[in-house]
Amino acid sequence: MSVDAGFIAHLQELLEPLGQISMRRMFGGHGVYCNDVFFAIVIDDQLYVKVDPESRADFIAAGCSAFVYTGKNHPVEMSYWSVPGEALDSADGMRPWAQRGLAAALRKPVAVKRVSRGQRKSVR
């Protein structure tokens, strides 16, 4: 899996109106953050934004699809979905889809992870 640097720059430009966008390499692609909230992934030059039960119907209605990878014994569907192709044409077209992804990420409960004995770290 690879990601074209030009595509990453294009996404950065499309997503900038949402807030401070940063991207970090992960899983053979990139994780996308808005104001330090992880809300999307980029795999093989495809953007997938966070989807939850509240937003899933919008993505289905627009003909989007879930990111699926092959696990040990079967395909595994992630809670990240593609955006409509026309969303990649402009920041205005991307905004509603990115906002849905950001909202879904913010609705996700914060898990508490034990770092070491007696310490806790919040993880979204």
How high is the mean pLDDT in each 10-residue block of the chain (124 residues)?
Answer: 80 96 91 96 95 97 95 92 97 98 91 63 55
Q: What is residue 110's predicted lDDT score, i.e. its pLDDT?
A: 73
Question: pTM above the 0.75 mark?
Answer: yes
Q: What is residue 2's predicted lDDT score, i.e. its pLDDT?
A: 56
Closest CA to 31 of 59, 67, 64: 67
Burial string for 70-107 (b: 16+ CB within 10 Å, else e) reads: eeeeeeeeebbbbbeeebbeeeebbeebbbbbbebbee
Q: What is residue 108's predicted lDDT score, i.e. its pLDDT?
A: 86
Which CATH architecture describes the domain 5-123? 2-Layer Sandwich (3.30)
Residue 58 parent element (H or E): helix 56-61
Q: What is residue 37's predicted lDDT score, i.e. its pLDDT?
A: 96
Secondary structure (H, E, C), 88-104? HHCHHHHHHHHHHHHHH
